[in-house]
Homo-oligomer: A and B are copies of this chain.
């Protein structure tokens, strides 16, 4: 047996890859080169064609080299997120799940970007990208879907490794000069926000006029800050297609219906009412006695507010439970996995998502949205706003501002005042 015929300079573990698009001005190529080096690899640029004019795409072909197969796979996995694909494409590798509720080792881990999988030489488009899932291929029907770990069934075919998978990173649309062309940006508290607000209103109008669907994710501070009427107006006017929230938002919204307070604070006077700290419990108890929110609205017990408008306008709402919930309301889904499943059912078709004053729900929703959905995250706390972007929800525009005035101006911009 002889030693492998390669010298130290041209390692055995290498792959020719290609990347195209606005790779220079979108910083894609530099990022790829950077990652190769960070991961201990080397590269050789074989060919590069840079678009001469602004709108010409560029194209680069390079050889990626590593010291081991494992390292090479790691590098390819990493750079594939930026659309860098091996030139000699091969089909994806499929392995049957050997048990329920877990992937085979080495499973391909999804991003929320547009993704294609190669089967029998043909590229299949993934309908609804979702991050941190696996890819399940139905060979018979030639379809590929994401599958969360817990939903894997024994025998399903799961993609292994990065071979035969390509990802097209969301490119900012530079032709439109809107906030969304600057993905993952944050409008700090020290910047003028008027423009961003106008753009949010424009997005919402566009969605309503066309085929778009708007998802609102809202925390209880929406009620505490006195923004309930604003959000109710948005729902009434048809600017909300789905509402995701928790037990607290719905409870305090109805607490205001029944007691005029939110967490015991009078909305009219801005002061704590003594005994008011019990109002939310009494609210939940009353709704439980009636059987649920819809029943309470139909019984004429709840006559205004966010939940009332949802019921009246047939806007579906998903209330997800958490361990800090009091009660909860009968409508709350207390199981976290079931909550995720129900939220997922509402994702198809969503084009715009507004997250207001909630960390837990924003991150949960960010986890299941495709990167193509435009997301605006509004919070007075900069930490909340930046957290989403940190967790891979790259398409988020953050807005550090006060919730009530935000809604007030949004309602004005939409002509609802």
Chain A residues in the interface with B (C-beta under 8 A): 24-27, 29-30, 33-35, 37-39, 42-45, 48, 50-54, 74-75, 77-78, 99, 101-103, 105, 107, 109, 132, 149-150, 187, 189-196, 221, 224-226, 262, 265, 267-271, 274-275, 277-278, 281-282, 284-286, 288-289, 320-328, 334-340, 343, 359-361, 363-364, 367, 380-383, 392, 400-406, 408-409
Q: Are A404 and B326 in contact (CB under 8 A)?
A: no
Q: Are A190 and B225 in contact (CB under 8 A)?
A: yes
Give A194's nearest chain B residue, CB to CB: B226
Pick the residue among B48, B289, B320, B322 that contacts A48 (CB under 8 A). Answer: B48
Pick the residue among B77, B360, B382, B405 that contacts A409 (CB under 8 A). Answer: B405
What 14 additional pairs, Cβ within 8 angstroms, besides A78-B275, A194-B270?
A25-B33, A25-B37, A30-B30, A74-B274, A99-B289, A105-B286, A105-B289, A149-B327, A189-B402, A190-B221, A192-B265, A322-B322, A334-B335, A382-B383
Report the separation of the CA atoms of residues A338 and B78 in the bound assembly, to the nearest whole angstrom. Answer: 39
Report the separation of the CA atoms of residues A318 and B265 in the bound assembly, to the nearest whole angstrom. Answer: 34
Chain B residues with Cβ under 8 A from A109's Cβ?
Answer: 278, 281-282
Chain B residues with Cβ under 8 A from A45's Cβ?
Answer: 50-52
Q: Are A190 and B224 in contact (CB under 8 A)?
A: yes
Q: What are 21 A-to-B residue pairs whose CB atoms are below 8 Å?
A: A25-B30, A25-B34, A27-B27, A35-B274, A38-B274, A42-B54, A43-B53, A45-B52, A48-B48, A101-B288, A109-B281, A132-B281, A132-B326, A149-B285, A149-B326, A150-B327, A192-B270, A277-B392, A328-B336, A380-B402, A405-B406
